[in-house]
Amino acid sequence: MMYFFKFVITLKDRIFVISLLSFIVGIGAGNFFIIDIFVLFCLSLVIVGFGIFFWHRRSWRIVLLLLLFSILGFWRFQVSVVDFSDQSKIHYYNGQQIKFTGTVVKIDQRMSNQKITVESDSTAGHNISGKVLVTLALYPAYRYGDQLELICELQTPEPFDEFAYDKYLARYNIYSVCYYPADVSMLDIDVANILSVVYSVKDKLSDALNLSIHEPQVSILQAMILGNRRGIPSDILDQFSNVGISHIVAISGMHIAIIIMIMMSIFISLGIIRQYAFWLATGGIVFYVILIGAPASAVRAAIMGILVLYAQKIGRLNSSFNALVLAAALMLMVNPKLFLSDVGFQLSFMAVLGIIYISPILRAWIERHKLNKFRLLSEIIIITISAQIMTLPLIIFYFNKLSLVAILANVMILPIIPLVMVGGLVVAGFGLVSLLISRFLGFFVWLAVSYMLVVVNYFDQIPFGSIEIKSFNLFLVVFLYVLIGLGVYKFYIQD
């Protein structure tokens, strides 16, 4: 362990990952400061010049390299800032009613309406690009790949009820919204598109579940395995939030990180060697992400999880951190708005970081006290607590709520999550061929989900099980992470 810790802090061996961290810091700084791109270019030239002049001094080379990566990150964020004066973009027409054509690239079915994301391609005889979030009545239903012509009054997204709706959509590169267009015409259907096939399969699986399992259990199951969360009653969602297990019914980074590690533990517990378990877990998570329609949050979390799994496969814990930083840097390079505008990205990063650094501490404690007789259960507890510790400051900061029963509730529920997910997929699969068999198997899945609801309801009834924290600011977030960091440091430095 001491060698590992030295490796973490040794600049010589960590120059690449520190450069990536400098790039990430540059992106973060770009959220708060605006510097002309020409000025950034000049600064880069100056740094390169200094680098050539002081090339013989290793310390100077390193410092200048880190500065260059920081400027690169700053520049990447700057060029991602939307230009509303660009006439080739659909958001140029915000505030106007226009006719445009485009392709449906995402569908969000809700209780009273549907929201579709349309990738525009032309208006008034000339080419344009950019996404529009269109709110429509539930019917007619649209599919991925549909080619539409719409007459819309475009609007710029605005914050409401202390929710930064504009920033929320900006992370998906959506800067225009349209509420109930004046006219929608179907032009064509792209039936050959691979994602349209995926969404079609997903819809059939969803229908099979609805016919096999009763409410509200089926709505929770839909959210867990297919990402269809809109059918869950609001009072149940509130209970899940109060108890601190909302991640179970959301395709979030924390959800994927925990599930992928549990899959590894299951395969290893079955006697499968780690190398084969890695490929099985990777295949399982890729299949799962594709099945639910490959939402951006799940794709990002899956990338992080697979890279960390690979690092563990080759047997180097420090490689896990390298893989995590590399994954984060690549994601931010593609979409720098994730840094501050995507809570899921932040929770994904911190959850995996907790699994990397805190789980060995808990694992060592459990082994020291000989509490690892039930390997799978102890591993689930370790993963759960590790992720919870690292995400807790962010959860309090963003949601102003602290669940005092979250860890215990997670420990009681998470062991059956793999059973529920696998069972739900089996029920959905049989539902495509035999409704009788799917309903029979669905009864056992219904029992498992009902157990979850009983546990959630029990913990929700505990007085002061969840408390609101209104004045939790960024300083306290940093302070808590410093404390966590010092605790981790103490463990590794003494080992």
pLDDT band at 313 (very low <50, low <70, confident <90, very high): low
Average pLDDT of span 121-149: 85
**Among the ranges given (138-152, 212-226, 265-279), the one the predictor scored with the smallest mean pLDDT:** 265-279
Q: Which residue has the higher pLDDT, 303 or 477?
A: 477
Judged against a pLDDT cut of 60, whether residue 5 lies above it is answered with no
**Among the ranges given (14-18, 57-61, 256-260), the one the predictor scored with the smallest mean pLDDT:** 256-260
Q: Structure tokens of 63?
A: 């410092």
Strand partners, 151: 99, 183
Judged against a pLDDT cut of 80, whether residue 75 lies above it is answered with yes
Per-residue pLDDT of 227-254, as tens digits, reads 776 777 878 888 888 887 777 776 665 5
Between the CA of residue 297 and those of 96, 107, 293, what are the distances in Å? Answer: 32, 15, 11
Task: Give 165's contacts (C-beta < 8 A, 6+ positions apart).
Answer: 157, 158, 159
Judged against a pLDDT cut of 80, whether residue 428 lies above it is answered with yes
Residue 295: is the preceding peptide bond cis (ω within 30°)? no
What pLDDT was estimated at residue 255?
59
Q: Which pairing describes strands 174-179 and 131-136: parallel, antiparallel, or unpaired?
A: parallel
Rg (the chain; Cα; Å): 24
Give the DSSP H/E element, type plus range, for residue 179: strand 174-179
Q: In the chain, what percentage of residues exceed pLDDT 90?
A: 4
Average pLDDT over the chain reads: 79
Q: Which residue has the higher pLDDT, 251 or 121?
A: 121
User: Residue type for 230, please?
Assistant: R
pLDDT band at 316 (very low <50, low <70, confident <90, very high): low
pTM of this prediction exceeds 0.85: no
Q: HSE of 257 in the Cβ direction (CA atoms, 13 Å)?
A: 33
CA separation for the pair 328, 219 (Å, rounded): 32
Backbone phi, psi, residue 163, to 5°:
-105, 125
Per-residue pLDDT of 31-48, as tens digits, reads 887 777 778 788 888 877
Give the single-character DSSP code of 160: B
Residue 263 has a CB neighbour count (10 Å cut-off) of 23
Backbone phi, psi, residue 283, to 5°:
-60, -40
H-type alpha helices, 292-416:
296-313, 317-334, 338-341, 343-357, 359-368, 375-399, 406-413
pLDDT band at 11 (very low <50, low <70, confident <90, very high): very low
Average pLDDT of span 465-479: 81
Per-residue pLDDT of 317-330, as tens digits, reads 556 777 778 888 88
pLDDT band at 495 (very low <50, low <70, confident <90, very high): low
Contact 27, 74 (CB under 8 A): yes
**SS3 state of residue 123:** strand
What pLDDT was estimated at residue 385?
81
Judged against a pLDDT cut of 70, whether residue 311 lies above it is answered with no
Between the CA of residue 141 and those of 184, 187, 230, what are the distances in Å? Answer: 12, 15, 16
Between the CA of residue 367 and those of 318, 361, 372, 374, 412, what are the distances in Å? Answer: 21, 10, 6, 11, 21
Judged against a pLDDT cut of 80, whether residue 419 lies above it is answered with no
pLDDT band at 6 (very low <50, low <70, confident <90, very high): very low
Average pLDDT of span 392-401: 83
What pLDDT was estimated at residue 61?
75
What pLDDT was estimated at residue 195?
62
What pLDDT was estimated at residue 3?
40
Average pLDDT of span 253-277: 72
Between the CA of residue 170 and those of 109, 369, 426, what are the distances in Å? Answer: 21, 49, 37
Q: Which residue has the higher pLDDT, 144 or 195?
A: 144
Percent of residues in the chain assigned helix, strand, coil, to nearest 5: 65, 15, 25
For 141-168, b/e burial (b = at least 16 CB within 10 A) is ebbbbbbbbbebbbeebeeeeeeeebee
Judged against a pLDDT cut of 70, whether residue 265 lies above it is answered with yes
What pLDDT was estimated at residue 251?
66
Q: In the chain, what percentage of residues exceed pLDDT 70?
A: 84
Strand partners, 152: 98
What pLDDT was estimated at residue 381?
75
Strand partners, 183: 151
CA separation for the pair 260, 232 (Å, rounded): 24
Minimal CA–CA distance to 94: which of 176, 183, 167, 149? 176
Judged against a pLDDT cut of 70, whether residue 293 lies above it is answered with no
Average pLDDT of span 388-410: 83
What pLDDT was estimated at residue 7?
41
CA separation for the pair 445, 448 (Å, rounded): 5
User: Residue type for 60, please?
Assistant: W
CA separation for the pair 275, 280 (Å, rounded): 9
pLDDT band at 446 (very low <50, low <70, confident <90, very high): very high
Per-residue pLDDT of 346-386, as tens digits, reads 887 888 788 888 888 888 887 777 666 666 667 777 777 88
Judged against a pLDDT cut of 60, whether residue 1 lies above it is answered with no
What pLDDT was estimated at residue 8?
42
Residue 132 has a CB neighbour count (10 Å cut-off) of 25
CA separation for the pair 171, 80 (Å, rounded): 10
Per-residue pLDDT of 171-209, as tens digits, reads 888 899 999 988 888 876 555 566 667 677 777 888 888
Judged against a pLDDT cut of 80, whether residue 274 lies above it is answered with no
Q: Which residue has the higher pLDDT, 471 or 458?
A: 458
Q: Structure tokens of 120?
A: 């525009």
CA separation for the pair 258, 376 (Å, rounded): 13
